[in-house]
Structure 1
């Protein structure tokens, strides 16, 4: 049973990422940064929607590290964008 839940989680994430790439490509806005941000949002949603109620398997506990790394990269992307928007004399 745990393998089935893990496979469902992985399939859901892959489907989200493929749909993201397809929609962004159709809208002609596909960039690495935008794909990463939308994929991270999907990862967080899939993680919450597939969370078990009673017991947390070991593989799900390790997702916290992946979420942490994703949020750090997201913060870096946001910081870069803010610096690009600000006038040159501000910083």
Structure 2
């Protein structure tokens, strides 16, 4: 049962990432940072939509570390983008 749910989770995440890459490529805006942000959003959505109701398997508990690392990298991307927008003399 856990293997089926884990496989469903992985398939949903891969489908989201492939779809995101396809849409970004069609819009001619495929960049690493943008793909990462869209994939992180998809990861969070898939994690919530596939969450079990009663018992949390051990492999799902480890997803918290991936979420924390993903949010830290997202914060870095946001700060870097803000610094690019600001004029040179502000900081």
- Shorter-chain TM-score range: over 0.9
1:40 match: 40
C-alpha displacement at 1:33, in angstroms?
0.2
CA distance in 1, matches of 2:61, 2:6: 12
* 1:11-43 Cα distance to aligned partner (Å, 9 max, x none): 000000000000000000000000000000000
TM-score, normalisation: structure 2: 0.99
C-alpha displacement at 1:81, in angstroms?
0.3
Describe the SS at the equivalent of 2:56: coil
2:68 match: 68
Q: Which blocks of at least 5 consecutive residues in structure 1 are unaligned?
A: none
1:19 match: 19
Equivalent residues, number: 91
CA RMSD between the two structures? 0.3
TM-score, normalisation: structure 1: 0.99
Q: Which blocks of at least 5 consecutive residues in structure 2 are unaligned?
A: none
